[in-house]
C-alpha cells in the first residue's frame, strides 16, 4: 500500500467519522495524520512493517496502531467498523468533489440516496435543487462530479501506475519459474493516466502464477487462450501479465508496448533478434524511445532523426517549490539541503502570494522577511543558491498579486491561477495572456488548472497562450505533480516548434515532492523535450540572466 493510499484511507476515515457524528477534535486528528503521511519521505508501511518507530508530527499512538494494522492486513478495526455501519455507496459518494459530510448526511439520512448512481438519477430528475442548502448550481456541480467519477473509474495516475508495475515486477522476481519481467504498454510509454498496468513476463508456467497471485490476496484469472493473467484490484483498476518465451520476447514487447503503427512497422523484422534496437536497425529506423511511440506520425517524425531527449540528470536545479513560509511542509534550509543531496545547483523557491491566504500566502512584510532569511542562508550555502521567487496568483483581471515595487524584488515569478475557475475559454486565455505580458512574469504555472482524474480545469486556447509566451519571452512549466502534468505533453510539439522554454516544475510541498520532477521529465520526453529547451537545465547564473532579459 502506497503512502497515497494510506493518506486516502485516513481521509476517508475522517469523512466517515464525521458522518457518524464523532467529535470534531478526533476527526481533525485523522486529517492531520493524513497530511503528515502525504509528506512522508519514505515508504511508510514498509517502515512500519520493519518495526521502525514513525516519529512524525501528527501521528499519535492511536493512528500509529492503525498503521500497524494496515501494514499487517490492509485495513484497521476502526475503519472496518465504520464501513459496516455506513452503506458502501455512501462511502463512495464521500469521495465526490463538492460533497462534504454535511450535505452527504442530508442526502443519505433524509433522502435515502446511497449510491453514486442514485445521486445521478436524483440530479437528472431535478430532485436536489429544492433541498435547503443545495440549489440548481450545486445540483449541476454534483452531477458533473459524479459523471466525471464514473468516467475515471479504474484509471491510475502515472506515479501509482509505475509503483504498481514495480511492485508486480518485484513480486515476479521472487517467483521461481519467472526468467524476467518488464513493464510494457501505457506504463512503458509513460502516459500521464494509465488505464491498465501491463507487464511482459518470460515463464513456462503461467497458470501457477495465477494461483500464487490469488494466494497473495489478489484477484487474478489466467486466460489460457490469450496467454495472459488479468488482475482486478479493489477499485476497478486492472493489470495484465502477458506471457512469452525467450524467442518471442522482443516481438511481444514491441506488440504490447504499442503504438499499433510502430508495432506493425517493426514486427516483420523481429525474427531472431535479441533486442528492440536490432529490430529497429533492421527496419531502417532509429531506435524510438518507448515514450515517443504514439500513433503513426512518429514514424514520419523520426526520419529526420531523434534529438537527445531530456533526462532527470540534466536538471541543474529545481523551479517551483514551497516552504513552511506558505503551505509547504519544510523550512527553506531543509528544502535547500534536499536539493543539494539531489545534485542541484539551485532551489527556485516560490511560496504563495498574498491573495492565496488559504495557503499562507506572503504579504509584503513577509516577503521582505523571507528575503532576509534567503540572503543569510545563501551566505552559508557555498556553491548553492536559493533563488527568490514567488508563485503569484493571477488575479481575475490578469494582474499579478503585488505592486510593481514588490514584484521587482523577486528574481523570478511563476504566475498561476488558483481561484475563479468558472471562466470560458476566451476569458481564461485572456487572463493568462495578460499575466504573460507582465514584464515580471517569468514562467506560466499549471496553465489549465486541471487535476487529473479529479478536476478538468478551465478551457484555454493553448496556441494563443504559447504565441503570447513567444512574443513576451516567457516560459511555460510542465507542472510535474502527477495530478497535474500541465501543460499537457501533446502541446509541447507546438510550443517547442515556436521556441518556448519549458520549466520542469516539481511544485514540491515537501522533500519527497522534489522527486515529482521525474514525472515531468517523463511526459516532457513524450513531447520530444530536449535539455536545450528546458529552462532548469541552465546554470544558476545563466538562468538569472534569462530572467533578467525579459525585464529589460
Of 357 and 545, the one with the shorter C-beta distance to Zn ion is 357
Of 67 and 321, the one with the shorter C-beta distance to Zn ion is 321
User: Which span (73-81, 362-370, 416-424, 435-443) binds Zn ion, by CB under 5 A?
Assistant: 416-424
Using CB under 5 A as the criterion, what x/- string covers residues 239-258 for binding Zn ion?
--------------------
User: Which span (33-41, 238-246, 386-394, 525-533) binds Zn ion, by CB under 5 A?
Assistant: 386-394
Residue with cell 504573460: 436
Q: Cβ of residue 444: shortest distance to Zn ion, in angstroms?
A: 11
By CB under 5 A, name the one of 411, 507, 513, 526 that touches Zn ion. 507
Long-range contacts of 355-363 (CB under 8 A, 24+ apart): 355/393, 355/395, 355/401, 355/418, 355/419, 356/326, 356/393, 356/401, 356/418, 356/419, 359/326, 359/327, 359/418, 360/325, 360/326, 360/327, 361/326, 361/393, 361/401, 362/325, 362/326, 362/390
Q: Using CA atoms, how far apart are residues 37 and 3, in angstroms rounded to an integer?
A: 6
Q: Cβ of residue 460: shortest distance to Zn ion, in angstroms?
A: 15
- Is 477 among the residues that bind Zn ion (CB under 5 A)? no
User: Which span (60-68, 158-166, 409-417, 420-428) binds Zn ion, by CB under 5 A?
Assistant: 409-417
Of 114 and 355, the one with the shorter C-beta distance to Zn ion is 355
Q: Using CA atoms, how far apart are residues 135 and 152, in angstroms rounded to an integer?
A: 26
Pairing of β 317-321 and β 238-244: unpaired
Cβ neighbours, 10 Å, residue 102 = 10
CB 460 within 8 A of CB 447: yes
Q: Cβ of residue 149: shortest distance to Zn ion, in angstroms?
A: 24
Of 6 and 390, the one with the shorter C-beta distance to Zn ion is 390
Q: Cβ of residue 321: shortest distance to Zn ion, in angstroms?
A: 8
Cβ neighbours, 10 Å, residue 498 = 13
User: Which span (9-17, 357-365, 408-416, 455-463) binds Zn ion, by CB under 5 A?
Assistant: 408-416
CB 139 within 8 A of CB 126: yes
User: Which span (49-57, 230-238, 302-310, 502-510) binds Zn ion, by CB under 5 A?
Assistant: 502-510
Q: Cβ of residue 510: shortest distance to Zn ion, in angstroms?
A: 12
**Which residue(s) pair with 157 in the sheet?**
193
Task: Identify the H or E element spanning 239.
Answer: strand 238-244
Of 160 and 507, the one with the shorter C-beta distance to Zn ion is 507
Of 256 and 416, the one with the shorter C-beta distance to Zn ion is 416
Task: Identify the H or E element spanning 11.
Answer: helix 3-19
Alpha helices in 108-184 (DSSP H): 116-124, 135-152, 158-173
Of 291 and 486, the one with the shorter C-beta distance to Zn ion is 486
Q: Cβ of residue 364: shortest distance to Zn ion, in angstroms?
A: 20
User: Which span (63-71, 219-227, 391-399, 404-412) binds Zn ion, by CB under 5 A?
Assistant: 391-399
Q: Using CA atoms, how far apart are residues 481 and 247, in angstroms rounded to an integer?
A: 39
Of 416 and 442, the one with the shorter C-beta distance to Zn ion is 416
Of 416 and 501, the one with the shorter C-beta distance to Zn ion is 416
- Is 393 among the residues that bind Zn ion (CB under 5 A)? no
Considering only residues 140-199, where is the footprint of Zn ion by CB under 5 A? none
Q: Using CA atoms, how far apart are residues 109 and 107, in angstroms rounded to an integer?
A: 6
By CB under 5 A, name the one of 39, 326, 355, 416 that touches Zn ion. 416
Residues that bind Zn ion (CB under 5 A): 391, 416, 507
Amino acid at each position: 500500500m502506497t503512502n497515497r493510499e494510506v493518506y486516502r484511507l485516513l481521509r476517508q476515515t475522517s469523512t466517515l467519522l464525521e458522518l457518524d457524528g464523532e467529535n470534531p477534535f478526533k476527526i481533525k486528528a485523522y486529517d492531520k495524520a493524513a497530511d503528515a503521511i502525504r509528506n512522508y519521505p519514505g515508504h511508510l508501511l514498509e517502515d512500519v512493517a520493519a518495526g521502525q518507530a514513525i516519529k512524525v508530527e501528527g501521528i499519535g499512538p492511536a493512528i500509529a496502531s492503525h498503521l500497524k494494522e494496515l501494514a499487517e492486513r490492509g485495513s484497521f478495526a476502526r475503519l472496518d467498523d465504520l464501513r459496516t455501519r455506513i452503506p458502501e455507496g455512501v462511502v463512495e459518494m464521500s469521495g465526490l468533489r463538492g460533497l462534504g459530510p454535511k450535505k452527504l448526511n442530508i442526502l443519505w439520512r433524509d433522502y435515502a440516496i446511497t449510491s453514486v448512481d442514485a445521486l445521478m438519477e436524483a440530479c437528472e430528475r431535478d430532485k436536489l435543487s429544492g433541498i435547503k442548502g443545495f440549489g440548481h448550481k450545486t445540483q449541476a456541480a454534483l452531477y458533473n462530479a459524479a459523471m466525471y467519477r464514473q468516467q475515471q473509474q479504474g484509471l491510475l495516475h502515472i506515479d501509482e501506475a509505475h509503483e504498481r508495475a514495480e511492485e508486480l515486477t518485484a513480486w515476479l522476481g521472487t517467483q521461481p519459474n519467472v526468467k524476467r519481467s518488464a513493464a510494457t504498454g501505457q506504463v512503458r510509454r509513460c502516459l500521464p493516466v494509465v488505464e491498465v498496468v501491463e507487464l511482459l513476463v518470460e515463464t513456462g508456467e503461467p497458470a501457477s502464477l495465477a494461483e500464487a497471485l490469488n494466494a497473495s490476496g489478489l484477484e487474478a484469472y489466467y486466460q489460457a487462450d490469450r496467454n495472459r493473467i488479468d488482475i482486478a484490484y479493489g477499485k476497478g483498476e486492472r493489470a495484465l501479465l502477458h506471457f512469452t518465451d525467450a524467442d518471442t520476447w522482443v516481438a511481444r514487447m514491441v506488440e504490447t508496448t504499442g503504438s499499433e503503427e510502430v508495432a506493425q512497422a517493426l514486427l516483420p523484422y523481429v525474427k531472431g533478434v535479441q533486442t528492440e534496437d536490432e529490430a529497429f536497425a533492421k527496419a531502417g529506423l532509429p531506435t524510438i524511445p518507448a515514450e515517443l511511440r504514439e500513433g503513426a506520425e512518429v514514424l514520419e517524425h523520426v526520419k529526420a532523426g531523434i534529438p537527445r531527449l531530456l533526462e532527470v540528470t540534466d536538471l541543474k536545479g529545481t523551479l517551483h517549490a514551497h516552504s513552511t513560509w506558505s503551505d509547504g511542509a519544510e523550512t527553506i534550509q531543509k528544502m535547500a539541503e534536499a536539493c543539494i543531496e539531489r545534485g542541484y545547483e539551485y532551489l527556485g523557491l516560490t511560496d504563495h502570494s498574498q491573495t492565496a491566504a488559504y495557503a499562507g500566502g506572503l504579504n509584503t512584510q513577509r516577503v521582505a522577511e523571507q528575503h532576509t532569511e534567503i540572503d543569510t542562508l545563501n551566505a552559508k550555502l557555498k556553491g548553492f543558491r536559493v533563488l527568490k521567487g514567488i508563485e503569484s496568483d493571477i488575479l481575475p483581471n490578469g494582474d499579478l498579486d503585488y505592486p510593481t515595487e514588490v514584484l521587482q524584488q523577486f528574481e523570478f515569478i511563476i504566475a498561476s491561477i488558483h481561484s475563479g475557475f468558472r471562466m470560458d475559454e476566451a476569458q481564461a486565455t485572456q487572463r493568462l495572456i495578460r499575466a504573460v505580458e507582465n514584464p515580471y512574469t517569468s514562467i506560466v504555472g499549471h496553465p489549465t488548472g486541471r487535476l487529473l482524474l479529479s478536476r478538468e480545469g478551465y478551457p484555454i486556447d493553448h496556441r494563443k497562450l504559447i504565441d503570447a509566451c513567444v512574443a513576451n519571452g516567457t516560459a511555460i512549466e510542465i507542472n510535474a505533480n502527477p495530478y497535474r502534468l500541465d501543460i499537457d505533453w501533446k502541446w509541447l510539439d507546438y510550443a517547442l516548434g515556436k521556441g518556448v522554454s519549458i520549466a520542469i516544475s516539481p511544485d514540491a510541498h515537501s522533500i519527497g515532492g522534489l522527486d515529482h520532477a521525474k514525472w515531468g521529465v517523463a511526459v516532457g520526453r513524450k513531447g520530444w523535450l530536449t535539455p536545450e529547451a528546458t529552462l532548469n537545465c541552465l546554470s544558476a547564473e545563466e538562468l538569472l540572466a534569462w530572467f533578467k532579459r525579459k525585464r529589460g
